[in-house]
Structure 1
Amino acid sequence: MRYHFCPKCGGALSIEKTQDKNKPQCTQCSFTFYQNPAVGVAAIVIKDQKLLLGKRQGSYAGQWCIPCGYVEWDEDVYDAVIREFYEETGLTISISKVYTVLSNFHNPAQHTVGIWFMAEVMDGEEKAGDDLEEVGYFTFEDMPELAFPTDRIVIEKLKSEELIQ
């Protein structure tokens, strides 16, 4: 269980009644705490058949990823990816389509569902910000060490579809 106390009354959460680790129930008020995944978004930007990646700082420091972040409460996923990409790269993007959706299991403390969008740069000055210390474009052969296994899946798909070289 990720959490041990009820967000409503502070009582202890237990899986004794539900027998389901994803649905602990409060021993005091009987509130069922559904442990659902968080939603992450990432923008795929390709220039000259090279993929834009960011070198992370903080968690997964020194490793690279497709610029990404979490959807905030009450935020549309399209707005979230545009916001996150701008915060991390200084670039304003336009979204063309959802490229793929995958479950992320790399962090045992936080299951996420990721949505990767195809995007085009519209404006801005490329500079690392927020969770990134560096940004750059890479070919498939020059790919640096990646932070997230699902990014590798996405990158291999981009390569197989000849979207990156």
Structure 2
Amino acid sequence: MDNHNFIGVGGLLYHHNQYLLVKHTYGEYKGQWILPGGHVNPGEHIDDAIVREFKEETALDVHPRSVLALRSRKRSDTSLDCYIIFLLEYLDGQPASDNLENDAARFFCLEEINSMDNIIELSKIIINEFHAATLKVLEKSTTYSPQGMDPETLRLYL
């Protein structure tokens, strides 16, 4: 059983009316499209972490504009992971897979995203809430309850 907390970051990049996603190659999200991101290194600021992770996973240069959402998930009695999602500004580059953690990186329009079966629920929720211009403050969501998970172990703030 893990006895530590984990901080991760994800990024929402909306560019030319499309959203960037990567297709995961490992873990619980293998084969799923997801917002790019990853772990925060010890001592690393969260905004630096999302810039680094985005460059590593997509080859794109970005600038973090704001925090869009925060999700907290209790993994055990002694372990918690916290995932912070940023709104990003495109600076430079063409999307490219890192061929390690993901095997594809590309932009999708909202209609494509909403018709996809292989996108994780959290990414779809964040994209749709952003698109509807409803992400204004970080409040606890009462509607996020993934199938098969105990809602008491999970918190999502939008």
TM-score (norm 2): 0.71
Q: CA deviation at 1:124?
A: 2.6
Verify the 8 A CA contact 1:95 1:117 in the aligned structure 2: yes
SS state of the match for residue 87, structure 1? helix
Q: Distance in 1 between matches of 2:93 and 2:127?
A: 25
Q: CA deviation at 1:68?
A: 1.1
1:57-86 CA distance string (max 9 Å, x none)? 122221100001010111111110000000
Q: Distance in 1 between matches of 2:50 and 2:67?
A: 11
Q: Distance in 2 between matches of 1:128 and 1:68?
A: 13
For 1:25, the equivalent position in structure 2 comes to: none
Opposite residue 43 of structure 1, the aligned amino acid is G
Opposite residue 21 of structure 2, the aligned amino acid is L
For 1:133, the equivalent position in structure 2 comes to: 103
Structure with more of its chain in strand, by fraction: 2
Q: CA deviation at 1:162?
A: 8.1
Q: CA deviation at 1:110?
A: 6.3
Opposite residue 151 of structure 1, the aligned amino acid is S
SS state of the match for residue 134, structure 1? strand
RMSD after superposition: 2.4
Gaps of 5+ in 2: 136-158
Q: Which structure has the greater CA radius of gyration?
A: 1
Q: CA deviation at 1:111?
A: 3.7
Matched, 1:100 2:69: yes
Opposite residue 55 of structure 1, the aligned amino acid is K
SS state of the match for residue 141, structure 1? helix
1:67-112 CA distance string (max 9 Å, x none)? 010101111111100000000000111111111212246x779642
Give the counterpart of 1:150 among 122, 129, 143: 122
Verify the 8 A CA contact 1:89 1:126 in the aligned structure 2: yes
SS state of the match for residue 85, structure 1? helix
Aligned length: 129
For 2:38, the equivalent position in structure 1 comes to: 69
**Higher relative contact order by CA 8 Å / sep ≥ 6: 1 or 2?**
2
TM-score (norm 1): 0.69
For 1:86, the equivalent position in structure 2 comes to: 55
Q: Distance in 1 between matches of 2:132 and 2:73?
A: 21
Structure with more of its chain in helix, by fraction: 2
Matched, 1:37 2:10: no
The percentage of counterpart residues that share the same residue type is: 26
